[in-house]
Structure 1
Amino acid sequence: MKLHVKGITEGERIPDKFAFGVYSDEDHMSFGPNRNPDLSWSDAPDGTKSYVVLMFDPDVPSKADDVNQEGKVVPKDLPRVDFFHWLLVDIPGDITRVPEAADSDGVIPKGKEPGPGTIGLRGVNTFTHFLAGNPDMAGTYGGYDGPCPPWNDELMHHYHFEVYALDVPSLGLSGPFEGDAVREAMKGHVLDSARVTGTYTLNPDLM
Protein backbone atom coordinates (compact mmCIF):
# COMPACT_ATOMS: atom_id res chain seq x y z
CA MET A 1 0.00 0.00 0.00
CA LYS A 2 0.94 3.63 -0.42
CA LEU A 3 -0.13 6.48 1.86
CA HIS A 4 0.07 10.17 0.97
CA VAL A 5 -0.40 12.82 3.66
CA LYS A 6 -0.77 16.13 1.84
CA GLY A 7 1.48 18.82 3.28
CA ILE A 8 3.57 16.44 5.39
CA THR A 9 6.95 15.23 4.15
CA GLU A 10 8.45 12.07 5.63
CA GLY A 11 10.74 12.92 8.54
CA GLU A 12 10.10 16.67 8.42
CA ARG A 13 8.20 19.11 10.65
CA ILE A 14 4.41 18.96 10.58
CA PRO A 15 2.92 22.34 9.55
CA ASP A 16 1.28 24.36 12.31
CA LYS A 17 -2.12 24.20 10.64
CA PHE A 18 -2.36 20.53 11.63
CA ALA A 19 -1.38 21.15 15.28
CA PHE A 20 -3.50 21.37 18.42
CA GLY A 21 -0.82 23.58 20.01
CA VAL A 22 1.52 26.08 18.33
CA TYR A 23 4.51 27.94 19.74
CA SER A 24 3.90 31.20 21.59
CA ASP A 25 6.59 33.61 22.81
CA GLU A 26 4.38 34.74 25.70
CA ASP A 27 2.78 31.53 26.96
CA HIS A 28 4.93 28.79 25.38
CA MET A 29 1.83 27.40 23.63
CA SER A 30 -1.44 28.65 22.16
CA PHE A 31 -4.18 26.77 20.34
CA GLY A 32 -3.48 25.93 16.71
CA PRO A 33 -5.78 25.52 13.69
CA ASN A 34 -6.04 21.80 14.52
CA ARG A 35 -7.10 20.68 11.04
CA ASN A 36 -6.72 17.04 10.14
CA PRO A 37 -4.49 16.64 7.08
CA ASP A 38 -5.68 15.19 3.79
CA LEU A 39 -4.90 11.46 3.68
CA SER A 40 -5.18 9.35 0.54
CA TRP A 41 -4.06 5.79 -0.08
CA SER A 42 -3.75 3.34 -2.94
CA ASP A 43 -2.70 -0.18 -3.93
CA ALA A 44 -4.77 -1.94 -1.29
CA PRO A 45 -4.76 -5.73 -1.67
CA ASP A 46 -7.64 -7.74 -3.08
CA GLY A 47 -10.13 -8.68 -0.40
CA THR A 48 -9.95 -5.35 1.44
CA LYS A 49 -13.33 -4.69 3.06
CA SER A 50 -12.54 -1.72 5.31
CA TYR A 51 -9.78 0.60 6.48
CA VAL A 52 -8.48 1.93 9.76
CA VAL A 53 -6.64 5.25 10.13
CA LEU A 54 -4.42 5.84 13.17
CA MET A 55 -2.18 8.72 14.16
CA PHE A 56 -0.07 8.43 17.29
CA ASP A 57 2.98 9.86 19.02
CA PRO A 58 5.30 7.23 20.57
CA ASP A 59 7.44 9.86 22.32
CA VAL A 60 5.11 11.01 25.12
CA PRO A 61 6.63 11.12 28.63
CA SER A 62 5.60 8.17 30.78
CA LYS A 63 5.59 10.50 33.82
CA ALA A 64 3.96 13.91 33.61
CA ASP A 65 5.42 15.42 36.83
CA ASP A 66 7.67 17.92 35.00
CA VAL A 67 5.56 18.41 31.87
CA ASN A 68 5.08 22.10 30.98
CA GLN A 69 6.57 23.25 34.30
CA GLU A 70 8.55 26.48 34.46
CA GLY A 71 12.22 25.96 35.36
CA LYS A 72 12.10 22.23 34.60
CA VAL A 73 12.77 20.04 31.59
CA VAL A 74 11.47 16.65 30.52
CA PRO A 75 14.71 14.68 29.98
CA LYS A 76 15.09 12.92 26.66
CA ASP A 77 16.03 9.63 28.38
CA LEU A 78 12.69 9.41 30.25
CA PRO A 79 10.74 6.28 29.17
CA ARG A 80 8.07 7.07 26.58
CA VAL A 81 4.56 5.81 25.79
CA ASP A 82 2.09 6.01 22.89
CA PHE A 83 -0.38 8.91 22.71
CA PHE A 84 -3.18 8.40 20.20
CA HIS A 85 -4.23 11.52 18.27
CA TRP A 86 -6.61 10.01 15.72
CA LEU A 87 -8.66 6.83 15.50
CA LEU A 88 -10.97 6.15 12.55
CA VAL A 89 -12.26 2.62 12.02
CA ASP A 90 -14.82 0.90 9.78
CA ILE A 91 -13.94 3.15 6.83
CA PRO A 92 -15.75 1.47 3.89
CA GLY A 93 -13.54 -0.37 1.42
CA ASP A 94 -14.51 1.91 -1.47
CA ILE A 95 -13.22 5.04 0.32
CA THR A 96 -9.54 5.85 -0.12
CA ARG A 97 -9.33 9.44 1.12
CA VAL A 98 -10.01 11.58 4.17
CA PRO A 99 -10.10 15.23 3.05
CA GLU A 100 -8.39 17.99 5.02
CA ALA A 101 -10.56 19.29 7.89
CA ALA A 102 -13.17 16.54 7.36
CA ASP A 103 -12.66 15.27 10.91
CA SER A 104 -11.31 18.36 12.68
CA ASP A 105 -11.17 22.09 12.01
CA GLY A 106 -10.16 23.96 15.16
CA VAL A 107 -9.71 23.12 18.84
CA ILE A 108 -13.03 22.21 20.44
CA PRO A 109 -12.89 22.62 24.26
CA LYS A 110 -14.26 19.49 25.96
CA GLY A 111 -13.82 17.54 22.72
CA LYS A 112 -15.73 16.24 19.72
CA GLU A 113 -18.21 13.40 19.95
CA PRO A 114 -16.85 9.91 19.25
CA GLY A 115 -18.93 7.48 17.19
CA PRO A 116 -20.14 7.80 13.59
CA GLY A 117 -18.46 10.68 11.76
CA THR A 118 -18.34 11.95 8.22
CA ILE A 119 -16.03 9.05 7.35
CA GLY A 120 -16.00 5.87 9.43
CA LEU A 121 -16.33 5.53 13.18
CA ARG A 122 -14.43 7.86 15.52
CA GLY A 123 -12.53 6.49 18.48
CA VAL A 124 -11.46 8.41 21.58
CA ASN A 125 -8.03 10.00 21.50
CA THR A 126 -5.64 10.39 24.44
CA PHE A 127 -6.39 14.09 24.99
CA THR A 128 -9.37 12.71 26.93
CA HIS A 129 -6.98 11.57 29.67
CA PHE A 130 -4.40 14.34 29.30
CA LEU A 131 -6.96 17.12 29.82
CA ALA A 132 -9.10 15.37 32.43
CA GLY A 133 -7.80 17.59 35.23
CA ASN A 134 -8.47 20.88 33.39
CA PRO A 135 -11.98 22.15 34.20
CA ASP A 136 -12.08 24.31 31.05
CA MET A 137 -11.02 21.48 28.72
CA ALA A 138 -12.00 18.17 30.35
CA GLY A 139 -14.23 15.99 28.20
CA THR A 140 -14.28 13.15 25.68
CA TYR A 141 -12.12 13.87 22.65
CA GLY A 142 -13.25 11.95 19.58
CA GLY A 143 -11.65 12.01 16.15
CA TYR A 144 -8.54 14.01 15.28
CA ASP A 145 -6.66 16.36 17.58
CA GLY A 146 -3.17 17.26 16.41
CA PRO A 147 0.31 17.58 17.90
CA CYS A 148 0.82 19.40 21.20
CA PRO A 149 3.97 18.00 22.85
CA PRO A 150 5.32 19.42 26.13
CA TRP A 151 7.05 22.75 25.48
CA ASN A 152 9.87 21.79 27.88
CA ASP A 153 10.58 18.34 26.38
CA GLU A 154 14.18 17.73 25.31
CA LEU A 155 13.02 15.08 22.83
CA MET A 156 11.71 15.75 19.32
CA HIS A 157 8.33 14.05 18.92
CA HIS A 158 7.41 11.83 15.98
CA TYR A 159 3.87 11.42 14.66
CA HIS A 160 2.96 8.28 12.74
CA PHE A 161 0.05 8.48 10.30
CA GLU A 162 -1.01 4.94 9.43
CA VAL A 163 -3.65 3.29 7.28
CA TYR A 164 -4.55 -0.40 7.54
CA ALA A 165 -6.42 -2.51 4.98
CA LEU A 166 -8.60 -5.11 6.71
CA ASP A 167 -10.36 -8.27 5.61
CA VAL A 168 -13.52 -7.45 7.62
CA PRO A 169 -16.11 -4.69 7.01
CA SER A 170 -16.22 -3.76 10.70
CA LEU A 171 -14.10 -4.25 13.81
CA GLY A 172 -17.26 -4.47 15.90
CA LEU A 173 -16.18 -1.71 18.25
CA SER A 174 -18.71 0.53 19.95
CA GLY A 175 -18.88 3.08 22.73
CA PRO A 176 -15.84 5.22 23.64
CA PHE A 177 -13.16 2.84 22.35
CA GLU A 178 -9.46 3.82 22.48
CA GLY A 179 -6.25 3.01 20.66
CA ASP A 180 -5.32 -0.21 22.41
CA ALA A 181 -8.79 -1.63 21.68
CA VAL A 182 -8.36 -0.83 17.99
CA ARG A 183 -4.98 -2.54 17.84
CA GLU A 184 -6.36 -5.60 19.60
CA ALA A 185 -9.42 -5.82 17.34
CA MET A 186 -7.26 -5.58 14.19
CA LYS A 187 -5.15 -8.61 15.11
CA GLY A 188 -5.43 -11.28 12.42
CA HIS A 189 -7.33 -9.00 10.03
CA VAL A 190 -4.61 -6.74 8.56
CA LEU A 191 -3.95 -7.38 4.87
CA ASP A 192 -1.51 -4.49 4.41
CA SER A 193 -0.60 -1.10 5.86
CA ALA A 194 1.33 2.07 5.13
CA ARG A 195 2.84 4.87 7.24
CA VAL A 196 4.03 8.46 6.94
CA THR A 197 5.93 10.07 9.85
CA GLY A 198 6.30 13.76 10.63
CA THR A 199 7.97 15.54 13.53
CA TYR A 200 6.89 18.36 15.85
CA THR A 201 8.12 20.25 18.88
CA LEU A 202 7.14 23.31 20.94
CA ASN A 203 10.61 23.53 22.51
CA PRO A 204 12.33 26.58 20.95
CA ASP A 205 15.73 24.96 21.52
CA LEU A 206 14.71 22.17 19.13
CA MET A 207 12.82 24.30 16.62
Structure 2
Amino acid sequence: MSLERPMTPNPYPLLPAAASFTVTSEDVTDGTPLKDDQVYALGNTSPQLSWSGAPEGTQSYVVTCFDPDAPIPSGFWHWVAVDIPAGVTSLDTGAGAGDDTLPGSAFHVRNDFGTLDFAGAAPPEGDQVHRYFFVVHAVSEPALGVDPSVSPAVVGFNLAFKTLGRAIITGTYQH
Protein backbone atom coordinates (compact mmCIF):
# COMPACT_ATOMS: atom_id res chain seq x y z
CA MET A 1 0.00 0.00 0.00
CA SER A 2 1.35 3.42 -0.93
CA LEU A 3 0.96 6.34 1.48
CA GLU A 4 1.56 8.91 -1.28
CA ARG A 5 -0.91 11.77 -1.06
CA PRO A 6 -0.98 15.56 -1.37
CA MET A 7 0.34 17.69 1.48
CA THR A 8 -2.41 18.51 3.94
CA PRO A 9 -3.04 22.24 4.37
CA ASN A 10 -2.08 24.04 7.55
CA PRO A 11 -5.35 23.72 9.52
CA TYR A 12 -5.05 26.85 11.63
CA PRO A 13 -5.86 29.50 8.97
CA LEU A 14 -9.05 27.48 8.32
CA LEU A 15 -10.31 28.12 11.87
CA PRO A 16 -12.18 31.19 13.09
CA ALA A 17 -9.81 34.19 13.16
CA ALA A 18 -7.93 34.84 16.41
CA ALA A 19 -5.17 37.20 17.45
CA SER A 20 -1.62 36.01 17.12
CA PHE A 21 0.93 36.01 19.94
CA THR A 22 4.40 34.54 20.43
CA VAL A 23 5.55 31.06 21.47
CA THR A 24 9.20 30.02 21.66
CA SER A 25 10.92 26.83 22.71
CA GLU A 26 14.31 25.66 23.91
CA ASP A 27 13.48 22.28 22.31
CA VAL A 28 11.66 23.09 19.05
CA THR A 29 12.96 25.38 16.31
CA ASP A 30 10.18 26.52 14.03
CA GLY A 31 10.16 24.70 10.68
CA THR A 32 12.99 22.29 11.50
CA PRO A 33 13.15 18.61 12.51
CA LEU A 34 12.23 17.75 16.07
CA LYS A 35 14.91 16.57 18.49
CA ASP A 36 14.97 12.87 19.33
CA ASP A 37 13.47 13.78 22.72
CA GLN A 38 10.18 14.69 21.01
CA VAL A 39 10.02 11.43 19.01
CA TYR A 40 7.79 8.70 20.45
CA ALA A 41 10.27 5.82 20.09
CA LEU A 42 13.32 7.81 21.17
CA GLY A 43 12.51 10.18 24.03
CA ASN A 44 8.76 10.79 24.08
CA THR A 45 9.21 14.02 26.05
CA SER A 46 7.12 17.15 25.61
CA PRO A 47 9.13 20.22 24.66
CA GLN A 48 9.71 23.33 26.72
CA LEU A 49 7.39 26.13 25.60
CA SER A 50 7.25 29.83 26.60
CA TRP A 51 4.71 32.36 25.40
CA SER A 52 4.12 36.08 25.60
CA GLY A 53 1.81 38.76 24.27
CA ALA A 54 -1.45 36.90 24.80
CA PRO A 55 -4.55 39.00 24.09
CA GLU A 56 -6.17 41.04 26.82
CA GLY A 57 -8.91 39.04 28.54
CA THR A 58 -7.02 35.73 28.45
CA GLN A 59 -8.22 33.68 31.43
CA SER A 60 -6.54 30.33 30.71
CA TYR A 61 -4.60 28.41 28.07
CA VAL A 62 -4.86 25.16 26.19
CA VAL A 63 -1.67 23.65 24.72
CA THR A 64 -1.91 21.17 21.86
CA CYS A 65 0.31 19.28 19.45
CA PHE A 66 -1.36 18.24 16.20
CA ASP A 67 -0.04 16.37 13.15
CA PRO A 68 -2.26 17.14 10.13
CA ASP A 69 -0.08 14.93 7.91
CA ALA A 70 -1.12 11.57 9.39
CA PRO A 71 -2.55 9.35 6.64
CA ILE A 72 -6.09 9.74 7.98
CA PRO A 73 -8.64 12.56 7.41
CA SER A 74 -8.71 13.63 11.07
CA GLY A 75 -4.95 14.05 11.49
CA PHE A 76 -3.38 12.90 14.76
CA TRP A 77 -3.49 14.59 18.19
CA HIS A 78 -0.27 14.13 20.16
CA TRP A 79 -0.96 16.45 23.11
CA VAL A 80 -3.92 18.25 24.62
CA ALA A 81 -3.36 20.07 27.95
CA VAL A 82 -6.40 22.03 29.15
CA ASP A 83 -7.14 24.75 31.74
CA ILE A 84 -3.59 26.01 32.20
CA PRO A 85 -3.93 29.07 34.49
CA ALA A 86 -3.69 32.52 32.88
CA GLY A 87 -0.68 33.45 35.04
CA VAL A 88 1.39 30.63 33.55
CA THR A 89 3.53 31.60 30.56
CA SER A 90 5.70 28.52 30.12
CA LEU A 91 5.81 24.76 30.45
CA ASP A 92 9.06 22.99 31.24
CA THR A 93 10.46 20.15 29.16
CA GLY A 94 8.56 17.03 30.24
CA ALA A 95 5.46 18.88 31.51
CA GLY A 96 3.38 16.58 29.33
CA ALA A 97 4.33 13.46 31.32
CA GLY A 98 1.03 13.48 33.21
CA ASP A 99 -1.45 15.68 35.05
CA ASP A 100 0.84 15.96 38.08
CA THR A 101 3.44 17.74 35.90
CA LEU A 102 1.00 20.45 34.75
CA PRO A 103 0.45 23.69 36.69
CA GLY A 104 -2.59 24.39 38.87
CA SER A 105 -5.72 22.46 37.99
CA ALA A 106 -4.65 21.85 34.37
CA PHE A 107 -5.20 18.36 33.00
CA HIS A 108 -4.68 16.25 29.90
CA VAL A 109 -7.30 15.05 27.46
CA ARG A 110 -6.63 11.66 25.88
CA ASN A 111 -4.36 11.93 22.81
CA ASP A 112 -4.81 9.72 19.75
CA PHE A 113 -2.53 7.07 21.26
CA GLY A 114 -5.21 6.79 23.97
CA THR A 115 -3.06 8.14 26.82
CA LEU A 116 -3.47 11.19 29.06
CA ASP A 117 -0.09 12.77 28.34
CA PHE A 118 2.23 13.92 25.55
CA ALA A 119 2.96 11.37 22.83
CA GLY A 120 5.89 12.15 20.57
CA ALA A 121 6.19 12.11 16.79
CA ALA A 122 5.56 8.69 15.28
CA PRO A 123 4.79 8.89 11.56
CA PRO A 124 4.63 5.69 9.52
CA GLU A 125 8.02 4.53 8.29
CA GLY A 126 8.78 5.84 4.81
CA ASP A 127 5.96 8.39 4.86
CA GLN A 128 6.36 12.02 3.85
CA VAL A 129 7.66 14.64 6.28
CA HIS A 130 5.08 15.30 9.00
CA ARG A 131 4.49 18.68 10.65
CA TYR A 132 3.85 18.95 14.39
CA PHE A 133 1.96 22.12 15.29
CA PHE A 134 2.58 23.05 18.93
CA VAL A 135 -0.13 25.60 19.66
CA VAL A 136 -0.84 27.70 22.73
CA HIS A 137 -4.48 28.77 22.65
CA ALA A 138 -5.42 31.83 24.74
CA VAL A 139 -8.89 31.12 26.16
CA SER A 140 -11.55 33.64 27.20
CA GLU A 141 -12.75 31.52 30.14
CA PRO A 142 -10.90 30.29 33.26
CA ALA A 143 -11.95 26.73 32.35
CA LEU A 144 -12.72 25.38 28.89
CA GLY A 145 -15.71 23.43 30.19
CA VAL A 146 -14.52 19.91 29.34
CA ASP A 147 -13.16 17.00 31.33
CA PRO A 148 -10.44 14.40 30.63
CA SER A 149 -12.95 11.96 29.09
CA VAL A 150 -13.61 14.09 26.00
CA SER A 151 -11.86 13.70 22.66
CA PRO A 152 -9.47 16.27 21.19
CA ALA A 153 -12.25 17.06 18.70
CA VAL A 154 -14.52 18.19 21.56
CA VAL A 155 -11.70 20.38 22.90
CA GLY A 156 -11.30 21.86 19.42
CA PHE A 157 -15.02 22.53 19.15
CA ASN A 158 -15.01 24.38 22.47
CA LEU A 159 -11.91 26.32 21.44
CA ALA A 160 -13.71 27.54 18.31
CA PHE A 161 -15.96 29.65 20.57
CA LYS A 162 -13.50 30.59 23.34
CA THR A 163 -10.15 31.25 21.64
CA LEU A 164 -8.86 34.82 21.83
CA GLY A 165 -5.49 34.07 20.28
CA ARG A 166 -3.07 31.41 19.06
CA ALA A 167 0.69 31.11 19.24
CA ILE A 168 2.15 28.45 16.95
CA ILE A 169 5.55 26.81 16.56
CA THR A 170 5.98 23.89 14.16
CA GLY A 171 8.50 21.07 14.17
CA THR A 172 8.86 18.36 11.54
CA TYR A 173 9.77 14.68 11.54
CA GLN A 174 10.15 11.86 9.04
CA HIS A 175 10.81 8.21 9.95
Give the structure 2 partner of residue 151 of structure 1.
125
Give the structure 1 partner of residue 160 of structure 2.
187
What code does the residue aligned with 1:92 have? P
What code does the residue aligned with 1:170 have? A
Identity percentage over the alignment? 34
Give the structure 1 partner of residue 44 of structure 2.
34
Matched ranges for 1:131-146 at <5 A: 141-146=115-120
User: 1:17–1:34: 8 Å Cα contact kept in structure 2?
Assistant: yes
* TM-score normalised according to structure 1 size: 0.70
Matched ranges for 1:47-196 at <5 A: 47-62=57-72, 80-104=73-97, 118-119=102-103, 120-128=106-114, 141-153=115-127, 155-196=128-169
User: 1:59–1:158: 8 Å Cα contact kept in structure 2?
Assistant: yes
What code does the residue aligned with 1:118 have? L
CA 1:47–1:38 in 2, change beyond 3 Å: closer, same or farther? same
Length, aligned pairs only: 153
Query: Where in structure 2 are there 5+ consecutive unaligned residues?
Result: 1-20
User: 1:59–1:81: 8 Å Cα contact kept in structure 2?
Assistant: no
User: 2:95–2:101: 8 Å Cα contact kept in structure 1?
Assistant: no
User: 2:26–2:47: 8 Å Cα contact kept in structure 1?
Assistant: yes
Give the structure 2 partner of residue 137 of structure 1.
none
Q: If you compute each CA radius of gyration, which structure gives the higher value, 1 or 2?
A: 1
Decide which structure has greater helix share: 2
Shift of 1:178: 1.9
What code does the residue aligned with 1:11 have? G
What code does the residue aligned with 1:3 have? V
Shift of 1:116: 6.6
Q: Distance in 2 between matches of 1:5 and 1:178?
A: 26
User: 2:44–2:119: 8 Å Cα contact kept in structure 1?
Assistant: yes
**SS at the partner of 1:103?**
helix
Give the structure 1 partner of residue 25 of structure 2.
5
Deviations 1:39-64 (A, max 9, x none): 110011111100010101001112xx
* TM-score normalised according to structure 2 size: 0.82
Q: Distance in 2 between matches of 1:116 and 1:186?
A: 23
